[in-house]
Each structure stands twice: as C-alpha cells, then as structure tokens.
Structure 1
Amino acid sequence: MSYHGKSKRQILLKLFLSALTISAIAFGGGFVILSLLRKTYVEQFGWIEDKEMTDLISIAQSAPGTIAGNAAMLVGFRVAGVPGAALTLIASIIPPLIIITTIIIFYAAIRDNEVVCNVLKGMQAGVATVILDLVVKMARDTLDTKNALVLPIMVAAFIASFFFKVSIISIIITAACLGIAAAYYKLYKLNKVEAHKK
C-alpha cells in the first residue's frame, strides 16, 4: 500500500473526491462501481492489493444493503478507518441522490424522448462490458488461489443461478458453508499429521 507520504487529511480528501467521482460516472449499477473501485484504488492509487480487493467485493456482495454502498464503505475503512468509511459512503450517495431527484422532476418530459432512449441503450452495452471485465478479473483472482474446491463451486453456482434461477443469497450461503467445511477438514488433516509426528 502506497500513500506517498500523504497526511491523513490529504488521504481522506483524496478518498472522498475519488469516491464522489466514481459514484457520479458509474452509470449501470453496483457492479460498474465495483469495477471502478478496483481500477482506482488497486491500479491507479495502489492503496489496496488486487487479492484483497476481491475479498472486499465478496464481502460487499454478501452483506445486506447495496453492493455499491457496502463496497465503498469497506474500501474507505481499509484505507482510512472509520472516517474513511463514513466519507466514502457519503460520497457514494450524493451523486445518485442529485441525479435521481433531477430525473424525477423532469421525468414526464424525457421518458418518451428518442435521444434519451438511445443514450440509455448505448449505456447498457458499455455497462455489460464493464461488468464482464470485473467478472473475468474476479474469476482469475479466485482461481489463482490454487484451491481445488474453487472451480467446482464456481461452476455449480453458475449452473444454479443461470439455469435453475436459484436465489443469490442461497448460493452465497451454500458456498460459504462449503468453504467453512473445507477449512475445517484441512485443519483436521493438519492436526492429524501433527499428532502422528508426536
């Protein structure tokens, strides 16, 4: 992690402004924000390691609430503690609040506007690409762990979600339980080996 000698105040200001910018330009929902968070704090600033960012994203997706808000808070907390979490949460709320309020005011005038409809269709294509980029990077980072359980869980989770429409929360809880079981089994084997050595 590199802060390049910046003071806590400078870090908090940079954290707030970057989160504000991300939230203002991240049209397309929480997954777009996740991709921008990775590019900003991992690739651009170097404040968080790539693997750790994947872990934070996993927690953000599993926790109650919006993915974007959860991820922003977790990143802010990781970088600058509780003040960082509070600032990034506030920064992530301000732009959509202003934009949605404005849309509500002018909705009747723009809902049937052909230009607006075409803009939204174009944005959908861009959003799909950004989400695909995030998915590929997360899958690569997850597979890099060299854990034999990871690939079967990923395949099973995809099949359950895509073909059988199993709820996301059920998939996440099941995957978490399998991970816990695998960890306990590994610990059991290590303890057994240690016992034989004695």
Structure 2
Amino acid sequence: MQKISLSRLFWATFYLSALTFGGGYVIISLMQQRFVKEYHWLTEEEMLDFVAIAQSAPGAIAINGAIAVGYKLAGFKGILTTVLATIFPPLMIISILAYVYETFIQILWIRWLLAGMQLGVAALIVQVVINMVYPYIKDKKYFELFIFIGAILANLIFSINAVTIILICLMFGLIRALLAKKEASE
C-alpha cells in the first residue's frame, strides 16, 4: 500500500466536501471518482464495501464514508483527517447561509439555482446506483442483484422500513457466507 500524506488526504477530502451539494450519496460518488479512478488509493471493490458500510452504519453517510476511507488509507490519523475535512466546508457554508437565509431565499434566481441543483443531485444518486450495480452485472453475481432489486422494491412498493430491509439483507449475507464457508470446508 502506498504511503499517503495526511495533508494530501485532507485537501483531497476537503475539496470534495466543499464542492459537493446534495448529501452523502453525492460525496460517495465523488470519493469513488477521486480515490479509486484518479488517485488509485482504493480499489473499486473496497469503495463498494465502504459505501455499504457507510449506508448501514448510523449517522451521516458522508461522515461514515470518510471514516472508512480515512482508516483504510492512514489509520486513526486518517479518520481524524478525513472527518475534519468532510465536516469543515459544510459547517462554514451553513453558518454563512443561516446568517443571510431570509434575504438569500427571496432572490428568484437563487431559488431556480437550488431547484436545478436538486436535479443534479438526483442524477448523481442515479450514477451511484449504476456504479454500485455494474460490477455485479459484469461479474454475473445474480444473487446480489436479486437482493439489491428486492431491497429497492421492498422500500418503494411495500414501504418497508429501511432498517428492516438492512437487517433482512444482513441475514441473507450471513446465510450466504455460512454456506460458502461450509462448501469451502468440504
């Protein structure tokens, strides 16, 4: 594993956080682009694992993702570095916007800008879903695809709580792991 300076890790994460609008799923997509494809600090599989962990753990997905990536790249110092770099830009922006919100929101073109940003965020979330599913399609991992599609349908059509879906998926994953371990020992 290559040695990554905390300074470089901080500024790479800070940059992503400062220019990300729309929440954790967007920053996860940009982390994947930057850390996997551009810097080659992580593999595609590691990033998918971190996304799954970030989604499953309680708390903000951006912070959870930063924790996983920071730990992988630089241990506990990496966690501190990436979490601070993830938190600091939105904290500054929200503090400034909260101060001028009433005046700011009255401007028509600002409202249009925010509406346009919502569409961009939706597109980035779709991109995250495609990036998560593509490796399973490419590798013909049909069981994982079945679980993925089942989880989406359970939430969208049957309005099953996300926590319940996560627990059911966890159960399927454990059963699958136990069966694989049993086959490997035979």
Indicate conservation of the 8 Å contact 1:54/1:141, yes or no. no
Given the alignment of the two structures, is residue 99 of structure 1 paired with residue 98 of structure 2, yes or no?
no
The residue correspondences of 1:36-55 to structure 2 (distance < 5 A) are 36-55=30-49
Q: 1:41 is matched by which residue type in structure 2?
A: F
Indicate conservation of the 8 Å contact 1:143/1:150, yes or no. no
Gaps of 5+ in 2: none
> What is the identity percentage for the equivalent residue pairs of Structure 1 and Structure 2?
35
Q: CA deviation at 1:133?
A: 1.0
Runs of 4+ in 1 over 4 A off after TM superposition: none
Q: TM (normalized to structure 2)?
A: 0.94
The match for 1:188 is 182
Indicate conservation of the 8 Å contact 1:61/1:67, yes or no. yes
CA deviation string 1:101-121 (max 9, x = no partner) = 111100111122211101101
How many residues end up aligned between the 2 structures? 186
Given the alignment of the two structures, is residue 74 of structure 1 paired with residue 68 of structure 2, yes or no?
yes
| Distance in 2, Cα, partners of 1:180 & 1:145 | 21
Q: CA deviation at 1:189?
A: 3.6
Q: TM (normalized to structure 1)?
A: 0.88
Q: CA deviation at 1:176?
A: 1.0
Given the alignment of the two structures, is residue 88 of structure 1 paired with residue 88 of structure 2, yes or no?
no
Q: 1:91 is matched by which residue type in structure 2?
A: A
CA deviation string 1:56-97 (max 9, x = no partner) = 110011011100001011111111111011100001000110
Indicate conservation of the 8 Å contact 2:133/2:145, yes or no. no
Q: Alpha carbon RMSD of aligned pairs, Å?
A: 1.5
Larger Rg: 1
